[in-house]
Chain A
């Protein structure tokens, strides 16, 4: 089974969700992220969804769960790269992804978190 790679960049973790991700892989990502957050003591996790062409209720729930879990582990999650068509569809569905922070890209996410130097 392919697992989603989690990269540590300076003080933050980055996971890029691949298109057509299978449920089992998504669930494994949640577990892996939990472990990595604790192991690396990262305070910021970026979840890159720029490759996702759709976000259905399962993915939406996964994003919400990852956010909640990270917060419990004293880290903050920012979702980056949401595609316009996805955003418009979520709006039509009435899904607000409340409690989930979003940013246009990695740079914006870092700026939001007050991290200027991501070396």
Chain B
């Protein structure tokens, strides 16, 4: 399913949908919490820094392994230096500085692609 992310209220919906899928796949409560938190962070990034975007949530059940797969796509300004952005402690928001590195620690798989002027896409997977 796809969740359009235009405002922070959409991020609330995103969290609920991710939680539903995680529960359906019987992820542990901790893994559920981690993937919902990661999704919330990435959803907020899309809304706050990219002018909005889209999140596609899927439950994956391959060869006995269950997982939640979420892909975030935005057509924002893109990230000029991904390595720098992924450094622990790096933050542009002036907030708590969770950043992408913190989010990456929460999930099992984390892939990011970005092109300046074109946009960014992030794919995360949380296995059971």
Q: Name A's B-contacting residues (CB within 8 A).
A: 20, 22-24, 53-58, 60-61, 64, 85-86, 88-89, 92-95
Contacts and interface: CB of A to CB of B under 8 A. Distances in A.
B30 interface: yes
Nearest to A58: B44
B33 A57 contact: no
Contact of B88 (A85, A89, A94): A94
14 contacts: A20-B15, A53-B19, A56-B41, A60-B95, A60-B96, A61-B96, A85-B29, A88-B30, A92-B34, A92-B105, A92-B106, A93-B106, A94-B88, A94-B105
Given A64-B96, A94-B102, A95-B98, A56 B12 contact: no
B8 A23 contact: yes
Contacts, number: 68
Interface in B84-100: 88, 93, 95-98
Contacts of A23: 8-9
B98 to A, nearest CB: 4
Interface of B: 8-9, 12, 15-16, 19, 29-30, 32-34, 36-37, 40-41, 44, 88, 93, 95-98, 102-103, 105-106
Nearest to B93: A57
Given A20-B12, A22-B8, A94-B88, A57 B106 contact: no
Contacts of B30: 85, 88-89
Contacts of A58: 8, 40, 44, 95
Given A94-B102, A95-B96, A54 B12 contact: no
Given A88-B30, A93-B102, A57 B95 contact: yes
Contact of A56 (B16, B44, B88): B44
